[in-house]
Amino acid sequence: MTDAHTTGTHGTGPFIAAIDQGTTSSRCIVFDKDGRIVSVDQKEHEQIFPKPGWVEHDATEIWENVQEVVAGAIVKAGITSADVKAIGITNQRETTLLWDKNTGEPVHNALVWQDTRTDALCKELGRNVGQDRFRRETGLPLASYFAGPKVRWLLDNVEGLRERAEAGDILFGTMDSWVIWNLTGGTDGGVHVTDVTNASRTLLMNLHKMEWDDKILSSIGIPAAVLPEIRSSAEVYGHAKGGILDGVPVASALGDQQAALFGQTCFAEGEAKSTYGTGTFMLMNTGGTPVNSYNGLLTTVGYQIGDKPPVYALEGSIAVTGSLVQWMRDQMGLIKSAAEIETLASSVEDNGGAYFVPAFSGLFAPYWRPDARGVITGLTRYVTKAHIARAVLEATAWQTREISDAMTKDSGVELAALKVDGGMTSNNLLMQTLADFLDAPVVRPMVAETTCLGAAYAAGLAVGFWPDTDALRANWRRAAEWTPRMDADTRAREYKSWLKAVERTMGWVEDEES
Ligand SMILES: Nc1ncnc2c1ncn2[C@@H]1O[C@H](COP(=O)(O)OP(=O)(O)O)[C@@H](O)[C@H]1O
Ligand SMILES: O=P(O)(O)OC[C@H](O)CO
């Protein structure tokens, strides 16, 4: 299915093209010098669910879609490769692929970040030492979310793969590596690289040295021969070989959430953004030193521009937000479109006493509890579907509040304002609720496609299209702002009830089931 639109041509170029290889779709956006969208093309790919908790993507389909959307965006813009100064890459993070470097064929479907098949392996790796075994080096807890354990699972479960990997015939990559390798020629000299932001999500990179960690590699059981070279987020990795952008420099790579941080121009310490899509990811720039989290957040790389020092971030990842709205639409049939949830929820004054904690695949930040499952609590005969709709929206806002609290505890920085983006930010009630629960202003920029914009900015910096980050800041314009209206007593009372509801989710899955 192609779901694409053009938003009108700006200026005469030159331009930067950004590829966003996301969880549900791949898209390509062409930007002009003011950071405005010139053209967009987008295509969804299949979500493969072989067993409960398993989620896979066909990487060959994804690469075909990427080529199609790049061509689509360039044709819609009415330009040629000569008008494109650089290509930037951003991608769904953690999703793990192994492929044969001689044939270019994936050895298995990609294991998607949401896939929980490595829960037992992670538990085993943490036995006696705890789930924070590699946190000091990597900034991450041992969890099925991250790439390293997924690589191990593939090496253990695909017949003969470990021997081929040890012999140097197999390449590992997250989707950035897969796209860049193919874009730069594949079996005909493709470059095998990843950037520091994507590498920081593998559980395999030492966050302080920006190098693969030999000790962790041997603890998890991954041969170094499969690994890509770790590079900065903004530099020329190679040039496109073949295709509509033949010869154009491939000049940036950032995980999609870090790209959104960059696109929102959160370049100063303490600046934060939250992206509301299928899941929600809040990142705060913490400057040049990694801040350890003692409150369930991830320490991650925000970005690194060329040979400048890396900039770190704290991240709170929420697995289920927009996907809960989809669930209300597709599984429950309570609404016909995602947008309808706002109308339904606005038809009542409050949640009627109901709280919905969507721990559908356990809880991510700040709990990291694979044994949690979803609950709706506080039910009485008074509660209607409109109250549930309200509780659905409140769930996203409360989860953000919990992460914001954890960020303040870990960083010592009080959130001055939250920059938001993503599909759910078109919901005004949700945005107002968010401002109310956070007790801080919530602001949305003119260009809501911050993920692609961030990748374009990084690529543009690498080739001198933009001189520096100050030039990028000048492009950021506010489109909407919501200020808190809730009184402190109500906020405190409601927050307490929410936290009580969260407690009810824990320990639902018994050990043997997980
Ligand atoms: N008006 C709305 N209110 C609430 N949720 C919405 C609304 N519009 C879209 N969504 C949700 O936002 C998500 C899509 O946002 P998007 O940023 O495109 O996500 P992703 O990049 O993760 O695919 C979907 O999960 C959808 O349910
Ligand atoms: O592709 P998205 O927008 O769902 O983002 C996925 C995240 O990168 C997962 O960590």
Rounded to whole angstroms, the Cα distance separating 264 from 252 reads 16
Tokens 């299928």 — which residue?
A: 278
For 146, how many CA atoms within 13 A lie in the half-sphere containing its CB?
Answer: 26
Residue 347 lies in a domain: no
Cα distances (angstroms) measured from residue 196 to each of 80, 141, 208, 265, 479: 31, 18, 11, 18, 31
pLDDT tens, residue by residue, 241-297: 999 999 999 999 999 999 999 999 999 998 999 999 989 999 999 999 999 999 999
Confirm whether the ipTM is greater than 0.90: yes
Q: In this structure, which residue's CA is closest to atom 9 in ligand 2?
A: 93
Q: Consult the annotation and say whether 312 binds a ligand.
A: no
Determine the average pLDDT of the residues in 344-351.
Answer: 97
Determine the average pLDDT of the residues in 207-211.
Answer: 95
Residue 107 lies in a domain: yes
Residue 424 lies in a domain: no
pLDDT tens, residue by residue, 105-116: 999 999 999 888
Range of the domain at 232: 15-256
Q: Consult the annotation and say whether 299 binds a ligand.
A: no
Residue 238 lies in a domain: yes
Residue 33 lies in a domain: yes
Tokens found for residue 410: 């870990």
Q: For the whole model, what pTM was predicted?
A: 0.91
Mutate to test the pocket of ligand 2, among 113, 298, 364 (most ligand atoms within 8 A of CB): 113
Structural contact between residues 21 and 91, judged by C-beta atoms closer than 8 angstroms: yes
Residue 200 lies in a domain: yes
Q: In this structure, which residue's CA is closest to atom 6 in ligand 1?
A: 424
Q: Consult the annotation and say whether 278 binds a ligand.
A: yes
Q: Minimal CA–CA distance to 161: which of 150, 149, 174, 152?
A: 152
Residue 496, burial from CB neighbour count under 10 angstroms (0-12, 13-18, 19+): exposed
**Residue 14, preceding bond cis, omega within 30 degrees?**
yes
The binding-site residues of ligand 1, defined as CB within 6 angstroms of any ligand atom, are 22-24, 277-278, 322-323, 325-326, 338-339, 341-342, 422-424, 426-427
Residue 29 lies in a domain: yes
Structural contact between residues 272 and 443, judged by C-beta atoms closer than 8 angstroms: no
Tokens found for residue 1: 């299915």
How many structural domains compose the chain? 1
Q: Terminus-to-terminus CA distance in the chain, angstroms?
A: 35
Determine the average pLDDT of the residues in 349-365.
Answer: 94
Q: Consult the annotation and say whether 25 binds a ligand.
A: yes
> Quick one: which atom of ligand 2 is closest to the CA of 113?
9
Q: In this structure, which residue's CA is closest to atom 5 in ligand 2?
A: 92
> Quick one: which atom of ligand 1 is closest to the CA of 342?
3
For residue 514, pLDDT over 50 is answered with: no
User: How close is the Cα of 307 to the center of ligand 2, in Å?
Assistant: 27
CATH of the domain at 57: 3.30.420.40
Sheet strands (E) in 361-477: 375-377, 418-421, 442-445
* pLDDT > 90: percent of the chain: 86
Cα distances (angstroms) measured from residue 348 to each of 185, 296, 351, 491: 56, 34, 8, 18
Residue 440 lies in a domain: no
What's the mean pLDDT when you consider all of the chain? 93
Tokens 């979310």 — which residue?
A: 145
Q: Consult the annotation and say whether 39 binds a ligand.
A: no
User: How close is the Cα of 486 to the center of ligand 2, in Å?
Assistant: 31
Cα distances (angstroms) measured from residue 356 to each of 274, 353, 374, 468: 21, 10, 8, 44
For 291, how many CA atoms within 13 A lie in the half-sphere containing its CB?
Answer: 26
Q: Which residues contact 311 (CB under 8 A, 6 or more apart)?
A: 267, 285, 287, 288, 301, 302, 303, 304
The binding-site residues of ligand 2, defined as CB within 6 angstroms of any ligand atom, are 22-23, 92-94, 113, 255-257, 277-279
Top-confidence residue, 235 or 474: 235
Residue type present at position 86: A
Please, which pLDDT band fits residue 181 given cuts at 50, 70 and 90?
A: very high
pLDDT tens, residue by residue, 463-475: 999 999 999 998 8
